[in-house]
Structure 1
C-alpha cells in the first residue's frame, strides 16, 4: 500500500486554502480515488471515463469571474499535482499514476514553471487559488 498523506491529515492545509468551501475536501478525496481506480482498471474505455470524470471534478473549481488568467496545465500535470496535494512523494505519485518517478518529476517541474512556483507546496496552493485543483 502506498503511504501518501491521507486526506484527513492534508485537510488542515486545504481548509486554509479554501475556507469558504467546506465541501471541497470530499471533492478532493473523490477525485484522488477516481485517479487511483483509473490506473487499476484494465478496460481502456472505463479508464478513460474515470480520468474524464476526475478532470470534470477538477474543473468544478473554475476560477471565479474577474480572476486573473489561469495557466494551462496538461491533464497529466494536473494528475501529478493532485497526487502531490495528497502528500505523495514523486515515487508514490509515479506508482499511483503508472509513470516513472522521473516522468512525475518532469510533469511537476513543468507545472511549477507554468504556475511560477518554486516549491511543490506553492504549486499546489497556486493551482488551487487558480481553480485548477479542487
Structure 2
C-alpha cells in the first residue's frame, strides 16, 4: 500500500427547494443579504473590469439592466417533469431558438400553455376563454 491517505468524500448535497429558499430569505427581511447563488450570479454577470476581490460582504449589482422586473399579475407554480420530458424540452428549445425567438424554459412553458389553452378553447368552447372554476359550494 502507498503512503497516500484516502481522500475525504464531500457530504452529499441536499435537494434544492427554491420555495424554501425564498421563504428563508423573506424571513431574513434583509434585502441586501445575498445567498451564495446570488453572489455567484452577481460575480459572473459583472464585467471583468468591475470584479472585486472576494470578501465576506455580499455582492449586489446596482445596474438597472441586471435587475429583472417581475411582470404584473403573475403567480408562481411548482412544476415537476420527468427527466425525459425535461431533456426533450431543452433539446427542442435549443434547436428552435433562432426560428421561434423563445429564449428561456419559462418562456417555452408559458407559450406551450397558451397554445394548448387556445386549441382546447377553440375545440370545446367556440374559441372563448373558459370561465373560472366555481368555488366550492357548501350545501
> What TM-score bracket applies, with the shorter chain setting the length?
under 0.3
**TM-score (norm: length of structure 2):** 0.23
Choose between structure 1 and 2 for higher RCO, CA contacts under 8 A separated by at least 6 residues. Answer: 1
Greater fraction of residues in helix? 1
**TM-score (norm: length of structure 1):** 0.23
